[in-house]
Amino acid sequence: MKKSGYQFFGVVFILFMGYRIYTHFYSAAPISGVITDATTGQPVEGAVVVAEWYSESPGFHNRNSELFEVQEVVTDKQGKYTIPGFKMKFLPRLFAKLDFYPPTKFLIYKYGYLPRHTSRMDGTVKFPNIDIKPFTGTLEEKSKSMMDIEMLLPNIYESCDWKKTILLAMEIDKQIEEMEPYFRSHPEIDARLYEIPEPWFLKPTIFRIENKNHYCPGAVEILTKARKLRNKEFGK
């Protein structure tokens, strides 16, 4: 092959790689909305709103989905929140692409309310304005809904991903702490987070630490301090 031929393919390759790199930069515009009480219609202050963006890449049997970006905010007195979005964030995997420019998932939670999930993957996306239902009923009735709440907990013993949703973890811990006495007095209920008389975040075996090099300290201290301040405030 002549030298000009190599040069031609070299230019094509450089252009192709340049295009792939350029198309792997993504941005997301800010999103603002209001969280309201589904019963009263009033705005909910202090609700944690988490936006998640997922990327997709080809797999052997189906497409692989990985978390690309997480942003966490809290509603103000008017129930308003603003997800800041991001500009020119690079997706390192060559054949992956961002699932959707708007967030793939929204998670909303506040102590005393049921968690709310909205997802583009299951067709339930509804934002920016979202209502949440109060967490009511007897302790027995509440216990049946705790699994949905606990599913939102980050794994605080693997990497530093928990830092992205620490406000959510702190808010969920309020509800878990309220339910701890009930579960401990009902050993017949299969609830690993309540098996022994200590908070869930002091039980690393539950979270199956596979690589101690990935451990990211700090979450236990933050959650412990939050409980102490909360209990001091309410005179516990």
DSSP 8-state code for residue 168: H
Q: What is the pTM of this model?
A: 0.78
CA contacts within 13 A on the Cβ side of 183: 24
Contact in structure between 198 and 206 (CB atoms under 8 Å): no
Contact in structure between 117 and 124 (CB atoms under 8 Å): yes
Q: Which tens digit of pLDDT belongs to each residue from 154-189? A: 888 877 888 999 999 999 999 999 999 898 888 777
Three-state SS at 231: helix
Q: Quick check: 232 pLDDT over 60? A: yes
Q: Quick check: 209 pLDDT over 90? A: no
- Helix, strand, coil percentages, rounded to 5, for the chain: 35, 25, 40
Q: Which tens digit of pLDDT belongs to each residue from 13-68? A: 444 444 444 446 677 788 889 999 999 999 999 999 999 887 766 555 555 667 77
DSSP 8-state code for residue 87: E
**What tokens does 117 get?**
């999930």
Q: Which CATH architecture has domain 25-135?
A: Sandwich (2.60)
Neighbours of 117 (CB within 10 A): 15
In 3D space, the residue among 82, 50, 55 whose CA is nearest the CA of residue 66 turns out to be: 55
Report in angstroms the alpha-carbon separations of 128 from 49, 118, 201.
11, 11, 32
Three-state SS at 50: strand
DSSP 8-state code for residue 19: H
Would you kindly state where each structural domain of the chain is located, as residue ranges?
25-135, 137-236
Burial status of residue 40 (CB atoms within 10 A of its CB: 0-12, 13-18, 19 or more): exposed
What does the buried/exposed string (b/e) look like for 183-216 if buried means 16 or more CB atoms within 10 Å of the residue's CB? Answer: beeeeeeebebbeeeebbbeeeeeeeeeeeeeee
DSSP 8-state code for residue 197: S
Contact in structure between 98 and 92 (CB atoms under 8 Å): no
